[in-house]
């Protein structure tokens, strides 16, 4: 089971490394230690979409139709790109990816 998880993680890393789209975070490599795997990715400043949405909500502001359309176009463009590579994303959400908590 543990070896299957390791192999799956490494395979996912290889898939991520092949992604080249302006709306997908750049991935460079997997670092493996005795107890963990680390994904080395581009630094994206400004926080997650979830944090941005929560901040807007706290301020009592909503997205304009134009802002929402811009965000959705960016997301749909990235999804269309990965689908063109015969990849299905199973974890689309505005917050952090679940990868950050995986241990081997």
Sign of CA dihedral 7, 13, 17, 23: positive
Does residue 66 belong to any structural domain of this protein? yes
For the chain, what is the domain count?
2
Respond yes or no: is residue 91 known to be catalytic.
yes
pLDDT at 98: 43
Between CA 61 and CA 55 the distance in angstroms is 9
Options 65, 91, 101, 103, the catalytic residue: 91
35 and 57 co-located in one domain:
no
pLDDT tens, position by position, 48-94:
888 888 999 999 999 999 999 999 999 999 999 999 998 888 777 77
Share of the chain above pLDDT 70, in %: 90
31 and 14 co-located in one domain:
yes
94 and 50 co-located in one domain:
yes
Find out whether 66 and 9 touch, Cβ atoms under 8 Å: no
Q: Enter the pTM of the model.
A: 0.72
Share of the chain above pLDDT 90, in %: 37
pLDDT at 96: 59
Range of the domain at 57: 46-98
52 and 86 co-located in one domain:
yes
40 and 3 co-located in one domain:
yes
């Amino acid at each position: 089971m543990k070896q299957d998880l390791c192999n799956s993680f490494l395979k996912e890393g290889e898939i991520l490394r092949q992604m080249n789209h302006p709306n997908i975070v750049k991935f460079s490599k997997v670092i493996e230690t005795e107890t963990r795997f680390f994904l080395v990715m581009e630094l994206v400043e400004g926080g997650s979409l979830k944090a941005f949405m929560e901040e807007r909500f706290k301020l009592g502001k909503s997205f304009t139709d134009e802002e929402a359309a811009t965000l959705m176009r960016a997301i749909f463009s990235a999804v269309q790109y990965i689908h063109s590579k015969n990849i299905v994303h199973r974890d689309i959400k505005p917050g952090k990816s679940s990868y950050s908590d995986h241990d081997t």
